[in-house]
Amino acid sequence: MAQKIVAANWKMNKTLQESIDFSKEFAKNILNLKKTGVILCPPFISLFNINEILKNTPAKIGGQNMHFAESGAYTSEISASMLKSVNCDYVILGHSERRHDFNETNEFIKKKIDTALAKGLKPIICLGEKLEERESEKTKDVVKKQYDSAFEGISTEEVKNCIIAYEPVWAIGTGLTATPEQASEVHTYIRSLLIEQYDAETADSITIQYGGSVKPANAEELIKSADIDGFLIGGASLKVDSFTEIINIVEEVIN
């Protein structure tokens, strides 16, 4: 069985002080977690301090993006080694805001995935269709194309270090959530792609998160649905109370 993991994607939110305040309060809430994994992906400026605050808790930290190159003339970018140097274990790659607002292609994202794995960072690989793609029944085609590009040449050992996040673009930050049935259908499809490429045991061990307007009110029915192994959360991860509530819901459901 895949580990249930709840990740926060703060995007471009919170100053350093706000991140510190959040983390100090949040740290107390997760000390008794037994099974649920927790990952915080704050803006880069806060990684160092958040790591210090959360180091004796079960929470891990991750970057929201990275460049595929080791170093060089890439103004404003950050490398895998830099993320590792502040104790990041994870990095979000292929988020729809990177794909669509910053024109990141499957090919570009693939290079980052390969670098992350080579450098010992675990990528949270985001896949998902736009509204018009869902409406024209292209969801599975789009997800397959993104999947095929991301996992080409990835070995059985390497895939075990990947998290997949299914995030329908139309549900991100819009308040529209995929129904448990809609989400589950795509999650099961992604699992079938993993089974086809690897084997059933490996596929079952990969965490497939759902992302898109997850909140305390819808977390329980989503996490109880087939093949949904956790969440990647934007808006609701910005408040200690709502983020903690979602984590507690996941922890209770799996106990």
Catalytic residues: 95, 167
Buried b (16+ CB within 10 A) or exposed e, 97-115: bbbeeeebebebbbebbbb
Q: Is 212 in the site for ligand PEP (CB under 6 A)?
A: yes
Give the binding range for ligand PEP (CB under 6 A) out of 139-147, 183-191, 233-241, 245-253.
233-241
Q: Is 223 in the site for ligand PEP (CB under 6 A)?
A: no
- What tokens appear for 83 in the block? 């993320």
> Considering beta carbons, is residue 198 or 243 the nearer one to ligand PEP?
243
Buried b (16+ CB within 10 A) or exposed e, 33-56: beebbbbbbbbbebbebbbebbee
62's enclosing H/E stretch is strand 60-63
> Considering beta carbons, is residue 36 or 96 the nearer one to ligand PEP?
96
Residue from the set 109, 139, 234, 242 that interacts with ligand PEP by CB under 6 A: 234
- Give the integer Cα–Cα distance in Å for 9 and 63: 9
- Give the integer Cα–Cα distance in Å for 24 and 34: 20
Q: Is 214 in the site for ligand PEP (CB under 6 A)?
A: yes
> Considering beta carbons, is residue 74 or 102 the nearer one to ligand PEP?
102
Q: Is 211 in the site for ligand PEP (CB under 6 A)?
A: yes
The binding site for ligand PEP (CB under 6 A) comprises 9, 11, 167, 172-173, 211-214, 232-236
